Amino acid sequence: MSHLLTSKLAETLYTSIEGLPIVDYHTHLPADEILNDHQFENIWELWLKHDHYKWRLMRGCGVEEKFITGDASPYEKFHAFASILPLAIGNPVHQWAHMELEKIFNITIPLNAETAEGIWNQTNRELSDSTTVNKLLQLFKVKLIATTDDPFDDLSSHKAIAAKNHPTQVLPTFRPDKHLLEDKIDLSSLKQQHDYFHANGCQMSDHGLGQIPAPETPQYEALKAIAQWNHDKGWIMQLHLGPQRKVNTRLSGQTGPDAGFDTIGSKPQTERLIHFLNDLDESDQLPKIILYNLNPNESPALCAALQNFQQADSRPLALPNGRPLTPDKLQSGRELAGQAKLQYGPAWWHLDHVRGIREQLDILTSMSALGTHIGMLTDSRSFTSYVRHDYYRRILCSFLAEKAQTGEMPNDRTLLIQTAQNIAYHNIKNYLNL
């Protein structure tokens, strides 16, 4: 219970949210494995095969690439990870790894070179008996997953999942990034696919950008067009700003895409973002937006910028039950909390650790309305990563408790519990109109 919880009040707040469902509104999980209820051959396939967070940690400890993404055996790769893990005490991967082992396999002993073989054998026995994708989703109480999909995906897995009335709702997300880098952008074809995605339950587009494109370039006009389509369909636009991609060109070429060779970029973001938001607002076509920022130096400016565009457009927002979003119709602040049009998203990627999350919460508290925040996501390719939601919830509860105990927030237990519950679950539920 006490892990990352810094006081009795933090523990009380955590108790009020630990059982809430998870809405994972940005992830890279494969829909076909959910459809087929994939069963993993061993702990490496479940735990290490697709987790670039663990890969980066191994590289940081000097592990040869052979034992990360190369041709070493699954056990050799697992043992290599186990061997370096004690060196990473305090790193979130060290904490996540042990939380994953405890949550899924009830293993509470530390993972290291000496315990690796025993943990390898125990986890593999349990995987061969009963642990499948869908059992993991049930274990973590995952209510919704939004995958990340190429616009020209046929969405066959998503259609089949929907037809099965799967207990976890699995929605596609329109991710056109690579098509916006082409010499000639085929907007007509992208619009057709945007319509196709909409017909198959999609509610969001997603964009991983080093920077908003320069105004009047083809890339800018294409991104603006997608934003307008999103507005017309009531979609959410997720903007991930700030990564510098494939910084090690030699190893990126060897390992292929999404291998973890990306870092925090230094391009300025605020001016172009404001131009983009204002351009859309002037034409009354600004969609709901979740903004993620990878460079913490820009967080205050970006969070402040969003507040200038929070007013609803000419189409009035509606509450989840369809009632107009007007003060006289509100029954509680909870109904309103998740409806802030522009969301400054959670600490992301290189920042989803104790320091990064606390700084993000502090900025949201100081410069926005913390109670409207939509909580955590996984941004992961691993089905074990849902412990990150628990990690985030613990940090959130300690943050609220400490602020209350220092007088920066009211020491009102009812209000603090409601705030924690809203951020952990209710706000994102309302934001997506679930």
How much is the pLDDT for 239? 98
Length of the chain: 434
Which of 141, 14, 139 is CA-nearest to residue 423?
A: 14
For residue 310, give every residue at least 6 positions away whose Cβ sits within 8 Å of its Cβ, in sequence order, or none: 340, 341, 342
CB atoms within 10 A of CB 252: 17
The per-residue pLDDT for 333 is 58
At 128 the pLDDT is: 78
Its sign, for the CA torsion 253, 66, 41, 378, is negative
The CB-side HSE value for 62 (13 A sphere, CA atoms) comes to 1
Specify whether the CB–CB gap between 80 and 107 falls below 8 A. Answer: no
Give long-range contacts, CB 8 A cutoff, 24+ apart: 252-256. Answer: 254/65, 255/65, 255/69
3-state class percentages of the chain: helix first, strand second, coil last, to nearest 5: 50, 10, 40
User: Which burial class, exposed, middle or buried, applies to 321 when counting CB atoms under 10 A from its CB (0-12, 13-18, 19+)?
Assistant: exposed
Angle between helices 218-233 and 187-199 (to 10 degrees): 20
Note the pLDDT of residue 31: 97
Angle at 308 between CA 324 and CA 422, to 5 degrees: 55
Task: Name the phi and psi angles at 228, rounded to 5.
Answer: -65, -40
Residue 283, helix vs strand vs coil = coil
pLDDT along the chain (434 residues), means of 10: 92 98 97 96 96 96 97 98 98 97 97 98 88 95 98 98 95 97 94 98 97 96 98 97 92 83 94 98 96 96 95 57 58 64 95 97 96 95 96 98 97 96 95 90
Rounded distance between C-alpha atoms, residue 43 and residue 119, angstroms:
9
| Radius of gyration, alpha carbons of the chain | 22
Amino acid at 259: A
CB-hemisphere CA count at 13 Å for 342? Answer: 24
Q: Given the DSSP bridges, would you call strands 263-264 and 243-244 parallel, antiparallel or unpaired?
A: antiparallel
> Dihedral, CA atoms, 80, 83, 89, 91, nearest 10 degrees?
0
Q: Which domains does the chain possess?
A: 8-41+131-431 (3.20.20.140), 42-130 (1.10.2020.10)
